[in-house]
Structure formats: C-alpha cells, structure tokens
Amino acid sequence: MTNANSVAWGALRGRDLVAGFGFFIFLNTALLALIVLGAEILGDEGSHDTKVVFAIIAIAVNLLLWIWNDSAIKDSAASSQDISGADLETKIGQEFVKAPWAIYRGLVLVIAIVVTGSLVYGVFW
C-alpha cells in the first residue's frame, strides 16, 4: 500500500472511530433512558424476564460497539506504522506513530465493561 493510501485508510478508520463513539454515547443514553422512564417495568416490581432481555440487549449492543471501536483503533495503529517519507517527518506524523494505541484499546474495553455493568446493575439491583 502506498503512503497516500495508508494515510487515507487511517483517516477513514479515524472517522469510523468517531462514528462508533457517537453510537456508543447515543445507544447507552437510550438504554439509560429506558431504565429511568421504564422504572415500573424494569424496576423492583418489573418482570424478571424483561430485565433479562434488557441485560442481553445491553451486553450485545456494547459488545458490538466495543468490537467496532477496537477494530478502528487497531487499524489506525496499523496505519501509523505505514507512514513514511515526508509525512513521517512532520510533527503530526511523529505523534501519530508514537500514540499509545494499546492504552487506547484498553481504555475503550474498560469503559465498555463499566458502562455495560452499570446498566445491568441498574436493572437488577
């Protein structure tokens, strides 16, 4: 892959990451709104089966969003290794190569687990 293609691919996956983060915020806010607005269904007197379905949906949505965001970070990290020539000599190119990609991936995983756990906790306890 040429350097220009690598940079373009990295930019595309960066936009995927922003979109994935937007979906993460939107969908988890919607799930939280369901807990708050549906307190009589998902609250103490709510059906156990409904709570289980909600938990499955929350876990599935966050698992898919984590896969989406993690793969976008992984691809961005890979594209940072393909930068060469004049692009590598720029400050932004040097910072892009030095970015702590593993920490970003770990942070996204921790956030996904904590948010999912909080939603499930909010329904069952």
User: 106-121: per-residue pLDDT in tens?
Assistant: 999 999 999 999 999 9
Q: How confident is the model at residue 33 (pLDDT cuts 50, 70, 90)?
A: very high
Residue type, position 18, single letter: V
Q: Report the alpha-carbon distance of residue 60 to residue 58 in Å, rounded.
A: 6
Query: Are 101 and 81 a contacting pair, CB within 8 Å?
Result: no
Query: Are 9 and 81 a contacting pair, CB within 8 Å?
Result: no
Give the three-class secondary structure for 85: coil
Q: Which residues of 80-111 are buried (b: 16+ CB within 10 A; e: fewer)?
A: bebbeeebeeeeebeebeeeebeebbeebeeb
Per-residue pLDDT tens digits for 83-94 = 777 777 888 888
Query: Are 57 and 42 a contacting pair, CB within 8 Å?
Result: no
Going by the DSSP 8-state scheme, the letter that residue 90 receives in this structure is S
At what angle are helices 48-80 and 3-37 packed, to 10 degrees? 160
At residue 12, does pLDDT exceed 60? yes
pTM: 0.83
